[in-house]
Structure 1
Amino acid sequence: MIKFSCPECGHGMKVPDEAAGKRGKCKKCGETVQVPKSQKAEIITQPPPMDFDEAPLPSRRRKRPTHREASPVSVEIHQEKPVTNSLGIAALVLGIIALLLCWIPFINLITALPLGGIGLILSLIGLVMAITRKGTGIGYPIAAGTLNFIAVLVPIIMTAFFTAAAGTAVSAIDEAGKEIERRESERNKPLTTNADGEATEETEVTDTTEEPNTEPASPWDNASAIYDGELVKVEITGAKIGKVDLKTFSGESTSEDDFLIFTINITNKQEAKKMDFRGWKAETFDDRAATLEDEHSNQYHGARFSSASRVQGQAAYESIYPQKSVGDVLPFEVPVDAAKELRLKLPAAAYGEEGQIHLIYDAGEVER
Structure 2
Amino acid sequence: MIQFSCPQCGHTMKVPDEAAGKRGKCKNCGEAMRVPHQEPTAMARKPERLPEIITDDEPLPARRRPKRTRREAPSVSVEVYQERPASNSLGIAALVMGIIALFTCWLPIVSIPVGGIGLILSGIGFVMAITRKGSGIGYSIAGGTLNGIGLVVPILMLGFFGLFADAIDQAQEAQRRVEERNNRALTTNADGETAGANESGGEATGSNTTQQPDGEPASPWDNASAIYDGELVSVEVTAARIGIVELENLGRESASEDELLQFTVEVTNKQEAKKMDFSGWKGQAFSGRNAATLEDEHGNTYKRINFGFGTKIKGQVENDSIYPQKSVTDVLV
Instruction: Please say whether Structure 1 and Structure 2 have the same fold, judged by a TM-score greater than 0.5.
Output: no
From the CA coordinates, give the structure whose radius of gyration is larger.
1
Q: TM-score, normalised by structure 2?
A: 0.38
Q: TM-score, normalised by structure 1?
A: 0.35
Higher relative contact order (CA 8 A, sep 6+): 1
